[in-house]
Amino acid sequence: MNSRKEVSEAVIRRLPKYLRCLGELKSKKVLRISSKELSERMSLTASQIRQDLSCFGEFGQQGYGYNIEYLNESISKILGTYNGFKVIVIGAGNMGTAITKSDRIKNRGFNVVGIFDNNKDLIGTTIGNIKIQHIDKVKEFIKSNKIDIAALTIPKEQTEKIAEKMVTYGIKGLWNFSAIELKLPEHIAIENVHLSDSIMVLGYKINNE
Amino acid sequence: MNSRKEVSEAVIRRLPKYLRCLGELKSKKVLRISSKELSERMSLTASQIRQDLSCFGEFGQQGYGYNIEYLNESISKILGTYNGFKVIVIGAGNMGTAITKSDRIKNRGFNVVGIFDNNKDLIGTTIGNIKIQHIDKVKEFIKSNKIDIAALTIPKEQTEKIAEKMVTYGIKGLWNFSAIELKLPEHIAIENVHLSDSIMVLGYKINNE
DNA sequence: TAGATTGTTAATCGATTAACAATC
DNA sequence: TAGATTGTTAATCGATTAACAATC
């Protein structure tokens, strides 16, 4: 959509945080906010907020600030929450189940519409109201349902191979929960959630702060 | 331990990635590697690797490179994987279960030794071989078992209150899975895993790359 | 209109990259 | 010893912060 100058990763990763803050304000029926006020709530600088937002357009008004409803909508759009992205989960373990059941993810507009596993005992059982299907069915399912995203919650040994298959089946983005770096064609979006990396960073922080 | 100059967050977050790469090399029985080779494997610059490592000490040798075993050990230490950190999980849902069962996390030296919930139906049942206890027991448990880390996998409405309690009970670090920013005393280490933020970043990438 | 606050340009700060003397 | 490669200092690049004219 907006491909002005290439927005930095740091800016992108702040957008969901803005969204959370704006959501709170909205629920408190606050109508407008200045970059200054917002910066205090979020422990950022006002300058950074204005700079960040200006990557995507002009959302404020001099002398007034930002309309919360409008800014919330705008950032939501940028993050694709109105795209109706369809998600499948590969791997019906605890992580796959957690994602499938997550209201939070659903509320942000990412809809889990299929779950796949290779364990025959699980096939046909349901998570939420979604039936677990055999992984052999995934190719057909992706094509006929125009799936956008695959969440990979499978053992790391299998992840690379499955990821490559997903690409050939036409998936646009991979949400990877295995502790490996996927090397895939440029046009495939990848987002990693490396829990073991995360807890080690916590370990570092405990020792050093 | 090593509190030289204050190492930047970016450097810290690369450490687990180094560790993963070194682990692979180790399993391939490779004994040594130069920053150049390592940089190619990891899609970084050799300069950055040397700069990163130099924040923590001198691990290499001119003309030789880095001993993989030694570097692996050194980074592991920096990340606290030898500290025998004890972890409790608050919330025995799917996320809590996933963490508890994770071999990866255990292999990195973070030991889940207790799980707590407020759902009476769950009390006494086990995950792995750990009994779920009522949350009323958590204070006593933390003190008598010298727990370091609490993983918070509970609904976001309850997270702030529980987090504050954890602090008073003497927890050193919080691994927070709720989509809120915790404001706690400086000396408490916090690491957030915001899955909904993560999938929105993926949504952005799909639209823009 | 006067005050407030934006979007943007310029200045600063920090992180990454390049270069190289030290040394294994 | 000669070649390789480190750790570190200097240069560059990018991100954050400050300043301010534009304008609601």
Nearest nucleotide to A47 (CA to C1') is D17
Give the residue from A153, A2, A204, A5 showing the smallest Cα distance to B173. Answer: A204
- Taking the model in full, what pTM does it have? 0.96
Report the 10 Å Cβ neighbour count for B143. 11
pLDDT band at B3 (very low <50, low <70, confident <90, very high): very low
Per-residue pLDDT, A170: 98
* Cα(B28)–Cα(B56) distance, integer angstroms: 26
Give the residue from B30, B134, B48, B32 showing the smallest Cα distance to B91. Answer: B134
Question: Which positions in chain B touch A206 (Cβ < 8 Å)?
Answer: 80, 83, 85, 148-149, 172-173, 189
Q: How far is the CA of A141 from the C1' of D17 (A)?
A: 50
What is the full DSSP assignment across A87-144? EEEE--SHHHHHHHH-HHHHHTT-EEEEEEES-TTTTT-EETTEEEEEGGGHHHHHHH
* Cα(B118)–Cα(B186) distance, integer angstroms: 29
Give the residue from B18, B70, B23 showing the smallest Cα distance to B49. Answer: B18
Q: What is the pLDDT of residues B23-49, one digit of tens each?
A: 999 999 999 999 999 999 999 999 999
Residues in chain A with pLDDT < 70? 1-5
Collect all residues with Cβ–Cβ distance below 8 Å to A121 and sequence separation of at least 6. none
pLDDT band at B100 (very low <50, low <70, confident <90, very high): very high
Q: Is the CB of B58 under 7 A from strand D?
A: yes
Q: How far is the CA of B65 from the C1' of C12 (A)?
A: 36
CA B190-B192-B196 angle, to 5 degrees, is: 165
Per-residue pLDDT, A209: 82
pLDDT reading at B106 higher than 50: yes
Question: Which positions in chain A touch B187 (Cβ < 8 Å)?
Answer: 209
3-state secondary structure of B193: coil
Nearest nucleotide to B46 (CA to C1') is C17
The domains of chain A, with CATH numbers, are 4-78 (1.10.10.10), 85-197 (3.40.50.720)
Q: What is the pLDDT of residues B47-73, one digit of tens each?
A: 999 999 999 999 999 999 999 999 999
Per-residue pLDDT, B57: 97
Q: What is the pLDDT of residues B144-182, one digit of tens each?
A: 999 999 999 999 999 999 999 999 999 999 999 999 999
Per-residue pLDDT, B117: 98
What is the full DSSP assignment across B109-177? T-EEEEEEES-TTTTT-EETTEEEEEGGGHHHHHHHHT--EEEE-S-HHHHHHHHHHHHHTT--EEEE-
B67 vs chain A: nearest CA distance in angstroms? 22
Mean pLDDT of chain B: 96
3-state secondary structure of B202: helix
Q: What is the mean pLDDT of residues B80-91?
A: 98
Per-residue pLDDT, A44: 98
**CB contact (8 A) between residue B3 and residue A208:** yes
* Cα(B183)–Cα(B181) distance, integer angstroms: 6
pLDDT band at B2 (very low <50, low <70, confident <90, very high): very low
Q: Is the CB of B66 under 7 A from strand D?
A: yes
Measure CA to C1' and name the residue nearest C22.
B62
**Count of residues making up chain B:** 209
Q: Which H or E element spans position B13?
A: helix B9-27
Long-range pairs for B180-188 at CB < 8 Å and ≥24 separation? B180/A20, B180/B156, B181/A17, B181/A20, B186/A209, B187/A209
